[in-house]
Structure 1
Amino acid sequence: MAADQIEAVVCGVDELKDGEMREVDVGGEKALLVKQGSEFYAIGAKCTHYGAPLSKGVLCNGRVRCPWHGACFNVKTGDIEEFPGLDSLPKFQVEVSNGKVKIRADKSALATSKRQKAMCKASAVNQKSVVIIGGGPASVSCVETLRQEGFQGKITLVSKDKYLPYDRIKLSKAMDTAPEAIALRNKDFYSSNDITVQTNKEVKSVSASSKSVKFADGSSLKFDSLLIATGGRPRVLPIPGADLKNVYILRTPDDANAIAQNAKGKKVVIIGSSFIGMEVAAFLADKAESVSVVDIIKVPFQLVLGDKVGAVLQKMHEEKGVKFHFESGIKEFLGKNGFVSEAVLSNGTKLPADVCILGVGVVPATEFLKDSGIKMTDRGFIPVNQFMQTDQPDIFAAGDIVEFPLFTVGGKDVNIQHWQMAHAHGRNAALNIVGKKHGIKSVPFFWTVMYGKSVRYTGYGPGYDDVVVHGEINAQKFVAFYTKGNEVVAVASMNFDPIVSQAAEMMQAGKKIMKSDVLKDPTAWLGKL
């Protein structure tokens, strides 16, 4: 055995049943042991996204799904098969003899529990060029998949942002984080895999007919295939005084850092009570002098999570000192010496304000495509088919800007602005760029984190007509089933793992959870898995 390897007997052959998994100790590190049929497999024990213990997740159909954010890994290979995250898990050697199960593994692989899939290099022989516009997870997932699938042509990722692609959803959860700390990949990764990244470069226009991209600096690029993944830009309301200093929108690390710095010990007013607004409120609650949230709805997250769950989350914030002003909009911002000093609500209430944050949603960043020849909706979204193709040959789109056919709702075209789904779109686009026809088949999964507590959500809930809630909702331990007719279309939970991941696996398999299944017992349907 090599010096950098370690081996250990981890259990008896009969200690695990078929379809069972267990976290085991290998020389002081952890591995996940899985039994499928009569075979044993061992892979990394922690999800490569945020390090969740996979033994607490869901084992189904030859893969394990993370209990926190829904990423899935093949138990035989360790390969990532569903997102979020980019890395796969290491696979370890398993030996069975004399009724014992032994694992042999590299020490470094055990310690990191992460593995990057092998990638090819560019070749001078291959003159094909793929251009990717956008600096989010769809773009990174796409460029990595291209190299993993053997594409040896030129890859150019172009981003308007001045930083390398980063974990944008952390901006509202950890607002004082440096951009380097949340980079999805570092500079060396792109250079070593022959991926050209151009930051701080704005696209001016795209021509589908000439297969070219023009930039604001006057330069241009030709492409054989193009992926557009520019995401959303914050919605800006026509509010008088919105141009005052210390009135912010949150889009970049610079925005987040400035808010975090300037809000310390100050009076903060947040417009909007959905994900960005409430995560910012949670981050600032113990740092600002006061935090007030304004919205035209009745409870936070009302449109997505409903009144019951929204009320619980409101109480959680109020216990931390956050004040709410519901059923009222923002009329104007007033200032002194060029800085905001008051937020005037539509009902006449005046809130003292040193810092204001607009968290009122996003709109698709697709204005530069208006003369491109690419079909768009009236709202600026790009329709794509199951292969992420637009109506123009060799032009693909992914992420928050697309309307795509969602398999869980019979192929209805939907827009889903989830971090996880953008990863899946990018990978799917890459597979089709290299000629591997592959339809998108990913179950929506998202989460929000406030005060160290997470709400997890899977499915597609718009249009739900009832919510069935189980658990101790006021104790912040519950599961909510969102139903349309007699079908459960989405599931949300807090401190009820791994039920949302279990629901996602049901949906992935094309199975339905019925309202009648959950009326009395929230787990009665698990026998269908």
Structure 2
Amino acid sequence: MNHNVDFLVGGSTSSEGEGAQKQRGEIKCLPKEEVSVDGIVCKVDDMKDGEMKVYDVGDGRVLLIRDKGNFHAIGAKCTHYGAPLVNGALCNGRVRCPWHGACFDIKTGDIEDFPGLDSLPRFDVEIVEGSVKIHGTEALSSNRRVKQMECGSPEDDRTFLLVGGGYASVACAETLRQEGYKGKIIIMTNEPFLPYDRPKLSKACNATANDILLRKPEFYSVYDIEILVNKKAVSVDTMLRSVSFEDGTISTYDKLMIATGGNARTLDKLEGHDLENITPLRQLHEAHLVAERGKGKRVVVIGTSFIGLEVASYLIGKATSVTLVGLMPEPLQPILGTKVGGMVRKLFEDKGAKFVFGSSPARFLGSGKKITEVELENGTKLPADLCVIGIGVQPATEFLKEGSIALSQNGYIMVDKSMKTSRDDVYAAGDLTEFPLFMAGDAKVNIQHWQMAGQQGRIAALNMLGKDTEIRSVPFFWTVFFGKSLRYTGYGVGHDDIIIQGDLEGMKFIAYYTKGDYVVAVASLNFDPIVAQAAEMFNAGKTITKAEVSG
């Protein structure tokens, strides 16, 4: 793969970026495509309280909401993947996306919970002689709005260093600028690309970096967010307020956020692990290897959780054969249970996939330098031209092992509800944290969801600025197989029963995960917006009892 630094912005390859960045504060905003909206859309009595409707206005669509007697008008589609918000959940002054759980304030259009980065356009509403009139000027055609952000200023000599080039760092950087911070922001990523939409890697393995960038290069340039690529952290000195990198450079900070995510687990202790065409899938070049070398070949996927299944879904129809190997009797069983896991297995089998359960790889066999077989512990040999390892990740915190930042026994960074670590002015966010989850009685948990990484980055930014804010976000994730999207919200670890409503075989169902007398998580397929509604109930502190969903 060509690793030319085509995506480097901020203009520097040194640790401090001296002299290479454009004059801070030079550009004040991105160009904004605007359209004037001015017209009557309905009668007041056309909508009931708590109702949402979509109206065509000019060259776009507006979501009109009647809530507690007042009307509000915002963009009609989620800024993440364009889901129709009219099908979402309205609760406590915000609307939650039915697909992936992003939340928007109905009064301002501002994004309040992730995924996604942009807010919605917002319009004024006026009641004129019993009719509802919408007017204002917003970027309606694109249905997204960049929340007002400051740029850097040479008068602010602070440096906030964000180590890690993922979603948490981008959300943190943007929140800092939205909240008025004008000092330096430097994001250090160990990859050769700008931050990108990592969940797409296993769903669209052939995507290019440009296809999945979270923001285009000019965005970071405009708002003075410096990004340095190929920067792998090797140590943190909290006394000297500095981070050392593998290339020998050292960067100092006033505030630090660590968001290096996770490293894919490998099978490097097995014989033959160094043969060609054995790969995990965590970074862009690994996804490209899968796309290129899986076509027309025999593929074995180790792991039957989300990454393994998503990769298999992508390869089926492109590869000659796809075989998945897992320890549990059904795919996704620890999270979704036996029945839902069985439905997923049948879906894959109907598409031509094969499963081998109850065993794991013992060694890899090859001819020359390339893999030819995967031998399992039960003696089975599976022909393989490509083997994808999808057995989870471990926190990328090895550079902190000798430091003073407190880690859990499993190597996760321990943070409080403000995303603060055990050291002053050091924060952490994303897959490498253990944090108090409000809906689990503030138990310290690790949540490796894209949505949670973004929210943790936002909360870290607010607290880096001294704006005391505690995280209160409901876990929400999704996966897609063959165009079918399975959604899940809550914290179902330790659930003791599963109640299923609907048609499991017909793939239209709701699964309630209960612990004792209460529902702790909800999953659904083709039953929107039930998961979004459940997430809003969890967020509001409302309970769903087992008795309520058992009838």
**Secondary structure at 2:431's aligned position in 1?**
helix
Indicate the SS of the match to 1:73.
strand
Residue 212 of structure 1: aligned partner = 242
1:467-511 residue CA offsets vs partner (Å, 9 max, x unmatched): 000100000000000011111111000001100011100010011
| 1:55 matched residue in structure 2 | 86
Determine the structure 1 residue equivalent to 2:110: 79
Question: SS of the residue aligned with 2:139?
Answer: helix
Q: Please give the alpha-carbon distance, in whole angstroms, between the structure 1 residues aligned to 2:39 and 2:60.
A: 11
What amino acid sits opposite 2:327 in the alignment?
I
Aligned length in residues: 518
- Find the counterpart in structure 1 of residue 158 from structure 2: 128
1:219 and 1:150 map into 2 onto residues whose CA distance is: 29
Query: Displacement, 1:24?
Result: 1.1
**How far apart, in 2, do the equivalents of 1:373 and 1:188 lie?**
37
RMSD: 1.2
Q: Which aligned pairs between 1:247-396 and structure 2 lie closer than 5 A?
A: 247-396=278-427
Residue 9 of structure 1: CA displacement?
2.1
Which of 171, 175, 200 aligns to 2:201? It is: 171
Partner amino acid for 1:136? Answer: G
The SS at the match of 1:110 is: coil
- Are residues 1:223 and 2:272 paired? no
SS of the residue corresponding to residue 505 of structure 2 reads helix
Q: Which runs of 5+ in 1 are unaligned?
A: 521-529
Q: What is the TM-score with the length of structure 1 in the denominator?
A: 0.96
1:483 to 492, 500, 514: 514
| 1:104 CA displacement | 2.6
Cα offsets for 1:41-79 (capped at 9, x unmatched)? 110000000000000001111110000011000011000
Q: What is the one-letter code of the residue matched to 2:414?
A: P
Matched, 1:495 2:541: no
Determine whether 1:406 maps to 2:437.
yes
How far apart, CA to CA, are the structure 1 residues paired with 2:141 and 2:409? 50
Structure 1 position 187 matched with structure 2 position 217? yes
Structure 2: how far apart are the matches of 1:330 and 1:98?
73
Q: CA–CA distance in 1 between the matches of 2:205 and 2:131?
A: 49
d(CA) in 1 for partners of 2:34 and 2:307? 49
Deviations 1:380-414 (A, max 9, x none): 10110010000100000111101000011111110
Measured after TM superposition, the shift of residue 518 of structure 1 is: 0.4
Question: Aligned equivalents of 2:59 and 2:509: distance in 1?
Answer: 35
5 Å matches for 1:31-110? 31-106=62-137, 109-110=139-140
TM-aligned CA deviation for residue 371 of structure 1: 2.0
Give the equivalent residue in structure 2 for 1:233: 263
Cα displacement (A) at 1:180: 1.1
SS of 1:467 mapped into structure 2: strand
Give the match for residue 487 of structure 2: 456
- The offset of 1:28, in angstroms, is 4.7
User: In the superposition, relative to structure 1, how do residues 3 and 67 fare at CA in structure 2: closer, same or farther (>3 Å)?
Assistant: closer
Residue identity matched to 1:201:
K
Displacement of 1:347 in angstroms is: 1.0
Q: Report the secondary structure of 2:127's partner residue.
A: strand
Measure the CA separation in 1 of the matches of 2:441 and 2:97. 26
Query: For 1:140, which of 165, 170, 183 is the aligned residue?
Result: 170
Residue 28 of structure 2: aligned partner: none
After the TM superposition, which of the residue ranges 37-46 and 3-12 deviates more from structure 2? 3-12
Query: SS at the partner of 1:474?
Result: coil
Q: Alignment partner of 1:68: what SS?
A: coil
Q: Give 5+ residue unaligned stretches, structure 2.
A: 1-32
Secondary structure of the 1:35 match is strand
Superposition deviation, residue 378 in structure 1? 2.0
Partners of 1:6 and 1:485 lie apart in 2 by 52
Contact 1:94 1:104 in 2 (8 A): yes
Distance 2:318 2:270 in 1: 27
Q: Which amino acid aligns with 1:268?
A: V
Question: What letter matches 1:376 in structure 2?
Answer: L
Q: For 1:224 and 1:418, locate their aligned partners in 2 and report how far apart those are by CA, in whole Å.
A: 28
| Residue 105 (structure 1) shift | 4.5
Per-residue deviation at 1:3?
9.7
Q: Output one character per residue of 1:239-264: Cα deviation in whole Å (capped at 9) or x when no partner.
A: 21111101111111111111111111
- What letter corresponds to residue 26 of structure 1 in structure 2? V
Letter in 2 for 1:380: G
What corresponds to 1:525 in structure 2?
none
**Distance in 1 between the 2:56 and 2:407 partners?**
53
Q: Distance in 2 between matches of 1:197 and 1:184?
A: 13
Per-residue CA deviation, residues 192-248 of structure 1 (Å, 9 max, x unaligned), is 101110011111110111110011111111111100000010011222111110111
| Runs of 4+ with deviation above 6 angstroms | none
Taking only the aligned residue pairs, the percentage that are identical comes to 53
Contact 2:34 2:140 in 1 (8 A): no
**Alpha-carbon distance in 1 for matches of 2:40, 2:118:** 27
